Structure formats: C-alpha cells, structure tokens
Amino acid sequence: MKTASPTFDYQLTEDGLTIETLLQDKWEVGKKTVHQLRMAKSIYDPTGAPADWRAPLEIGTVLRFTFPDAASTYVPEDPGALEVLWEDQHLLVAKKPAGIATHPDHSDGTGTFMNRVMCYIQHEGGKYAEHVQRLDKGTGGLIVVAKHPIAKGLLDRMMERNEVTRTYRAEVEGRLSRMRGSLKYPIGRDRHHPTRRRVSPNGQLAITHFHILERLENSTVIEAKLDTGRTHQIRVHFSHIGHPIKGDTLYGGTETEDGHYRLTAVKVSFGHPITKELLTIE
C-alpha cells in the first residue's frame, strides 16, 4: 500500500503571527526541526505555494505542514484487535494489551504494540508513528502515539514537564493501612539483576501518589498517579513498602493464573499540544 508523508492543516487562531513565531514561541518547536522545515519548504499557504515565513498572517489562515522525510521504521504487523480510543491528525491514544512489549528492540523486530500501530497507520495512508511513553511488557493500558514529528517533540517536552497525567490501577498484595499517600523513594538499577530496579539513595527521584479503591480479603486495589516516569516505578515502590503488585514475581508478588500482573494504565489527561483542547481518555 502506498503511504503518504505525514501532513496536517492548522488554522491560525491569532492575528499577525508569522510562521517563525508560531513554531518557536507558541509551540516551542526545537531549533533543529524548525530549520529542517524551513530548508525543505515544508509549510504551504492556502494557494499551495511555499509559505513566506516572515509575513504576518491573518487569523483564520490555514497552513499545511508536511514532513516528506519523516517515516517510522517499525515493521507493520496485523493490528488484530488494536483498540484506538481517541485520534486526530496529530496523535492517537490506543490500548496496549498486557503481555506484549511497547516497541521492538531492533528495527526489524515484531510482536509489539508499535508493530500493530504501524499497520494501522499505514492502512490510513500514513507512514509515521512514534510512542510518547512506554509501558512495561506486563502492563496493559493506554499509550499516546504521535503521528508527525512536531507532535512528537511537543508531547516529549510535555512529558518532561509532567504535563501529561497518567493514572494507573493496580492490585497489590496484602491490605494497605493508609487510604491515600505518596511514595517518594529514588529508584536506580539493581546491580545484581539485568532488568530489575530498586530503591537506592543514589537513584533518580521518583514520586507515586495513590489512594485505595477497594480492600479485598488478601489484597488491595489502588489507583496511582505518577509525578515521574521511572522504569518499573509503581512496581518498585509498592514492593519496597511490602505490598508488591499481585502477579509481579520479579518484585515479590505471587503468581497469577494467567501469568500477568495486575497493573493497568487506565487514564491519560493532557492539553492537546496543537489545539490546546483538554483531553481525558479512559
């Protein structure tokens, strides 16, 4: 199937903006990307001609952004039951099943969430898709995917600034005593294990907020939000306080019948990087 370069249209909501002001001041696009767009003459005015970057533009002017050299390398793989919960020309939010990785370890790898997304994108006629955050293989739930390089850059910066709220639901071993709280323990690598992390005084700052949803006989269902996004953060934090996630045998949880641990990314909230619309996807 022939695929098209990532493209989107944007209608100006302010009077007198130049393209340079829009990119650098309003969207805070990186200098490298701005330079590439300028050199490639990738922005067009309503007549279809390359736009004048210095000319002040009227409110309501529609600009077309193109990215002729932008393409993702994920091997497209039948998306099967890929569940896309929200989508526009800039990004999509889809559900990753537990038990598959977010992305392959090498360019020709398959069997991951992003292979399924790439098939979906190509079916729509696109060729660019990059995940904004990742979930552990055993964690299911929502992942935000950028559909062009500007969206990717803006969303990456929003993640760094903690402007994307991620909410998780987990079932942890035992009965938590506190109804709510915050876990503030730095996380670093476990030098005795290739993939495991641990609470370490020399680790990176990690903050997890939680509250109890339900107390079961031998476990507790909690909702958690992250101020930081360290590898295995929720898993490490609750293991550290003696309540590992049910099924998470790497961190001391008891094995479940299906082999998956009970952690799901259930909600994501953020201001749309382009339209500024407040989005909450559950």
Catalytic residues: 136
φ/ψ (deg, to 5) at 222? -125, 160
CA count, 13 A, side-chain hemisphere, 216? 11
Cβ-contact 267, 282 below 8 angstroms? yes
CA count, 13 A, side-chain hemisphere, 75? 10
d(CA 40, CA 30): 16
Would you put residue 115 in left (φ > 0), alpha (ψ -120 to 50) or beta? alpha
Kindly give, in sequence order, each residue whose CB lies less than 8 Å from that of residue 243, ignoring residues fewer than 6 positions away. Answer: 172, 173, 174, 176, 220
Residue in the block written with tokens 């098209």? 4
Residue in the block written with tokens 């077309």? 64
Cβ-contact 244, 234 below 8 angstroms? no
